[in-house]
Chain A
């Protein structure tokens, strides 16, 4: 185990997941922020905007969650 790359696999996959979560984090921030702006400008469109926001968040979040699953596969 000493000096072998095998020992580093859990740590590396953890770092990889952390890096992979950056992009979706920024993406969800942009989606939610713009949805709030839109709702503030046109409160009467709130229902449609909320539906679209959840859709956007769900699609963006999928990347982070795939990374989460791959983390467990890699580190198991």
Chain B
């Protein structure tokens, strides 16, 4: 709601078409609430712990007490769990994938809850739109697939990537260079930036359209017919709301899927 107030007080309804706050950062940076041992706790951090807590609670209450006839909620959670375990871990990585199910499962549920915070009433802030969270998760994924690659293949992992035997000798250095650059440098960066940018774009679009809609509808008596554009912005905002639910789920899925694919490519990296 603070965002709405910021935009309302500064918006020049007569001349502007979309009401944006003066600085984009106002939408993503919250003031410090209190400080613990040098760490400044903001709304984002509280929401991050809330997301982790909600993810654990969903799994706990969904899978607790196996009954003969499970509850509807239990069936839904079981569907999600088997989707990650069978659809992502075992399909992509193979039989060895079972070992990575806990990591993939934790990440999928955390990201799902975190992304859907964007469309949760009263929260309305996707925690994954702060770069620190996707960057840290991508870093953990990077460490895991590097570790797996070097543990399974020793230093052949690095050498065969930089000097691929299957490629004709003339092109080998070029292909090797591209491969090393894309695997060791580009992979973690794009993994983090993809999630981050999607969530930032969604949050910005929702905030701009919905605030503009509310402000222009409220200003209809002053600016007359032009105020009816607010109805259009608000309608578009509501449509984006539905789209953002889809994008939030899809991005959580893609982040988990890419993690699984990167781990798989480290295990069987020859092809």
Which positions in A face B, CB cutoff 8 Å? 47, 51, 54-55, 58-59, 61-62, 65-66, 68-69, 72, 76
Contacts and interface: CB of A to CB of B under 8 A. Distances in A.
A68 B257 contact: no
Contacts of B91: 47, 51
Interface stretch (B64-72, B189-197, B232-240): B189-197
B257 A62 contact: no
A68 B197 contact: yes
A72 B253 CA distance: 26
A20 to B, nearest CB: 13
B193 A58 contact: no
Nearest to B91: A51
A10 to B, nearest CB: 12
A68 B204 CA distance: 12
B4 interface: no
Contacts of B200: 68-69, 72
A72 B24 contact: yes
B24 A58 contact: no
B129 to A, nearest CB: 11
Contacts of B198: 65
What class of interface size applies to chain B in its complex with A?
A: 10 to 19
A69 B193 CA distance: 8
Contacts of A47: 87, 91
A62 B261 contact: no
13 contacts: A47-B91, A51-B87, A51-B257, A54-B253, A55-B254, A55-B258, A58-B258, A61-B194, A62-B190, A62-B194, A65-B198, A66-B190, A72-B24
Nearest to A61: B194
A-B pairs, top 10 by smallest CB distance, nearest first, are A65-B197, A62-B190, A58-B254, A69-B197, A62-B194, A68-B197, A65-B194, A54-B254, A66-B193, A68-B201
Contacts of B174: none
A55 B196 CA distance: 17
B206 to A, nearest CB: 15
Interface in B195-214: 196-198, 200-201
